[in-house]
Amino acid sequence: MNHLKITQSELALLCGVSQGTVDRALNGRGEISEATKERILATAKKYGFRASKGNSKPERTKTIGLVFFDLNNEFFSRLITDIEKKAAEKGFLISVMFTHYSEENEIKCIRQLYSSGIDAIFLCSVQQSKQFVTFLNQLSIPIVALGNKIEGIPYVGADDFNAMAYLTEKVTATHKKIIYYSPALRYENAFAQHKRYEGFLNAVNNVPFETVKSPENLKEHYEEGTAIICSTDLYAIYAYTHSFADGFYGFDNIPSLDRLKLPISSIEISTEEIAEKAIKTVEENSRDDTFIPHSLIER
């Protein structure tokens, strides 16, 4: 199997060592453990590394790597489809990998895509640490954050705080009590979900509300005039089929709401526009965030 050329700095990144350590392994000098040396040499052989003055830039493949959680949320399957279409218009292919919300898997996916010579990575991340941002910035290709915002990395997507605040203001104007339903709040790395909750808290004002994070507690909170706001449409569908309320509201406006004729209003963010702006970010090598406009689709 033929592999693309990589630079010495990229070899160091793949092996998780410094460039100095790589240099010592390749040239047989200095103090370095035999195990580390063997690992570096094996990786160099695997990816066709050849030390030379002309090896300053790796060859690229006109491919964009996508690192997503999974396809359980219809929003992301639709987003991947739109990215593929928009990428094809610009002459790019896509390569998709899934992390299943694992930090370890995420790093593996990024390294695998990077070593294959992709031109950029669109990343739905479960990480935000400074160490992780440093790792991303060491890559010599554009990284665009989707879904979850990462400080220091260009982001394209919903303004989760303001979109949920907008929805909350609409709902509180016509209901006496609000239930905010979001099991994802149980997880610290569900960054977009927490940002939506902050937007809800900012806008709910004096309207009585309760926050429900566990499905089994959903029915206990119903009173006449109650609306249920959910941080995703998947949660809204569950709430609609397992509880009682005078209004159900979600986030993402997935196609299933119309297909199943469900009376669930939802915040819509154009996946087509996310795809278009993400590719533009890569083409322009922009470091700016791009927030996609939101709207409420009422049912």
Q: Let me know whether 236 and 107 are in one domain.
A: no
Which of 27-41, 71-85, 276-290 has the weakest average pLDDT? 27-41
Assigned domain for 234 exists: yes
Q: Which of 16, 31, 59 is where one domain is finished?
A: 59
pLDDT of residue 1: 33
Residues 166 and 24 both lie in one domain? no
**CATH number of the domain enclosing 50:** 1.10.260.40
Mean pLDDT of 271-287: 96
Q: How many domains does the chain have?
A: 3
* Last-in-domain residue among 40, 59, 78: 59
- Does residue 297 lie in a domain region? no
Asked if 17 and 40 count as a contact pair (C-beta separation under 8 A), the reply is yes
User: Is 252 within a domain?
Assistant: yes
- Token pair in block for residue 127: 């990480």
Is residue 32 within 8 Å of residue 20, measured between CB atoms? no
Element (H, E) at 236: helix 233-242
Same domain, 73 and 169: no
DSSP track, 150-192: -TTS-BEEE-HHHHHHHHHHHHHTT-SEEEEE-GGGG-TT-HH
The answer to whether 267 and 253 are in contact (CB under 8 A) is yes
Residues 239 and 261 in one domain: yes
Query: What is the predicted pLDDT for the residue at 143?
Result: 97
User: Both 224 and 180 in a single domain?
Assistant: yes
| Pair (147, 280) in one structural domain | yes
The band of 139, judged by pLDDT with boundaries at 50, 70 and 90, is confident
Residue 60 pLDDT > 90: no
Q: Are residues 150 and 230 in the same domain?
A: no
Its domain, for residue 37, covers 1-59
Helices and strands in the chain, H and E counts: 11, 12
In percent, the amount of the chain with pLDDT more than 90 equals 69
pLDDT grade, residue 25 (50/70/90)? confident
Q: Same domain for 1 and 74?
A: no
Based on the domain organization, do 183 and 254 belong to the same domain? yes
User: What does the pLDDT read at residue 291?
Assistant: 98
CATH for 230: 3.40.50.2300
Q: Which of these three, 13, 42, 59, is where a domain ends? A: 59
Q: How far is CA 238 from CA 70, 72, 87, 184, 199, in A?
A: 19, 14, 34, 14, 22
Question: Is 298 a member of any domain?
Answer: no
